[in-house]
Amino acid sequence: MPKETWLLWNDISRSPYMNMAVDELLQKEAMAHGKVILRFYGWDRDSVSFGYAQAPSALPERANGFVYVRRPTGGGIVFHDDDLTYTLAVPPEHPICRLDRMESYRVIHEAVMDAVRDLGTAASLAEADMGDHTKATLQCFVSPTLHDILGESGKLAGAAQRRGHSGILHQGSISNEAAHGHTRQEFIQAVADAFVARFDLAYEPLPVENSDFLARAEELANRKYASDDWNNDRIVPEASRS
C-alpha cells in the first residue's frame, strides 16, 4: 500500500501570467489539503520566465518577441517554447520540507532523471554549482547548477524554488530533448510514474474544476503577474477593495 497520496493535475496550456498565478495559489491548496500537488502544464504562447530576484534587463536578445513574466521562485531565465513544465507544491509538514534547499532539489530531480532515462535519454545530475558572479544573468539551459539534470549535449532539466512557512513551491522545466521522440502525454506519464516509484505514492485528481480556484487565479494573474509593477519592479499591486 502506498505510503502517501499526492494530488495530480494534468493542466492545459495557459498564459504565462495565469501559469504563475495558478502555481502561487497551489501552494495554499497544498496546505489546505495537507498533500503534495503535482501539476503539469503548457504555455499558450512563446514565453520567458525569469527569477524573482532578477531584472528584465537581464533577458538576452533572444527574448525579443517572447512574452516575459517574473516567477514567484528564484533561479534564472527559462524559455518556454518547447519544454515540459511542472510544479510541485509541498505542504510544510511534508518530509521534503525538512531537507535543505539543495537536498530537496536533489531528491526531486532524481525522480525526474529516472523518467528521462526510462524514455531512453542518457542523464545524470550535475555535481558542481556555478560561481555567484554568473547568477545575476543566469540562463537556465545555458548554465547548469548543482543537481540539474544533464544529458550528453548539455542541460536537460532545471528548477527553481520558493521556501517559507507555507512549504515549498518547486517550478521545474524539462527540455523536449529529454522526451526522446515520445509524445507529450507519454513524457508526462513517465515523470508522474517516476515520482510514484521514488516516493511510494498514489495519485488522486486535484479537485479544481468545480471550485472558484481558477477564478481566483485569473484575478491574481491580471492584478499581479501581468502587471508592469510586478514584472519590472517586483511590486505586488494591491487587490481591489470593491
Catalytic residues: 140
Residue 206 is which amino acid? Answer: L
Backbone angles phi, psi at 59, to 5 degrees: -65, 135
CA distance 81 to 184: 14
**DSSP states along 65-85:** TSEEEE-SS-S-BEEESSEEE
Give yes or no for a contact between 149 and 194, defined as CB atoms under 8 angstroms apart. Answer: no
Q: Which long-range contacts (CB under 8 A, 24 or more apart) does 207-212 make?
A: 208/9, 208/29
What is the number of residues in the chain?
242
Backbone angles phi, psi at 133, to 5 degrees: -65, -15
Residue 168 is which amino acid? Answer: I
DSSP bridge partners of 163:
168
Residue 42, number of CB atoms within 10 A of its CB: 14
Cell numbers given for 219: 484575478
The torsion angle over the Cα atoms of residues 17, 75, 37 and 94, rounded to 10 degrees, is: -150
CA distance 50 to 158: 13
